[in-house]
Structure 1
Amino acid sequence: MKKVAVFGKPGSGKSTLSKQLAEATGIELHALDSILYQQNGKEVDRECYEDTHNHILTTDTWIIEGFGPLNSQESFNKRLEAADTLIYIDLPYPITYWFVTKRFLKGLFQKPEGWPEGVSVVKGTLESYKVLKLCPMFWNDRFMQRIEKASVNKSLYVIRSIAELNRFVGGHVQ
């Protein structure tokens, strides 16, 4: 476990799991939201994002958390190819909707940990709901088949419950 891609629907616990994994392994964590947004909350231009992302992929170890720009799967595909470990968090939709709502409610009082500077929690929450509504068109059986195909000669972990999510790091990091 040296190059780890963590991905899943909004509100699935990617950030929390990735942080725990980084702490347990000592591998540097790169949250895609932090390279996708400027300090003022605006998206960086695509070239800047791609340069930063591609540079991370060339390093010896990394944990990359997130999906990246919604209108481009290119960086996601590069990550799948470069990673030696794929962690797909595939929690049921009611749980992810609840996690997004819980993050929003907490965010009214304190910015969520790892939330990009300058990005509105309200705006981010609305975007998460919008993406969740569209997810069944993307996060489906065809997507799972694609992930399984991409995981040849890699470790693939699919987390489908909160219990699995909560015990992942303890069960997979020595």
Structure 2
Amino acid sequence: MIENTNIADEKKYNKLIVALSILIPVVVAVLFGIKIPNVEPLTFLPPIYATVNGITALVLVLAVFQIKKGNRTTHEKLMKLAIMLSVSFLAMYVAYHMTSDSTKYGGEGAIKYVYYFILLTHILLSIVVIPFVLITYVRGITNNIEKHKKIAKITYPLWLYVAVTGVVVYIMISPYY
């Protein structure tokens, strides 16, 4: 009976997960192309949102450590914090790009290809991870623990990669701001 309740609870969220998984990248892409005129560029944001990415990575690692210790309540709080951090990163990232011109990477040679590989995988996986995070979260809050664990094994490394590479991208491009 509990399993059926979990599935019914999860299904309530499916349309929202699909909608957000499509809407977030589309809205970000649209907003990324909009420049707000006569506004002071928010050039102070990149080191802040890079730090938020680093904190997100740390929170994800701590959350996994806590659940392995059996601290479910702390794990849940940390995962909610990781989601809030990711949302705040996204808001700052969009605000920066709506007020500032994109910075061109100035490195040359092999490092340029490394940078663009990291950047491309970071961007693509940041889109891919959205439904994984949402599904994993819903399975957790609906107490569908076995399915939650199963998808979390995919979500965690993807999300951690996106958070860490966000910091790496910033470090690599920061000399060119």
Tell me whether the two structures share a fold, i.e. TM-score over 0.5: no
TM band (smaller chain): under 0.3
TM-score normalised by length of structure 1: 0.28
Larger Cα Rg: Structure 1 or Structure 2?
2
More strand by share: 1
More helix by share: 2
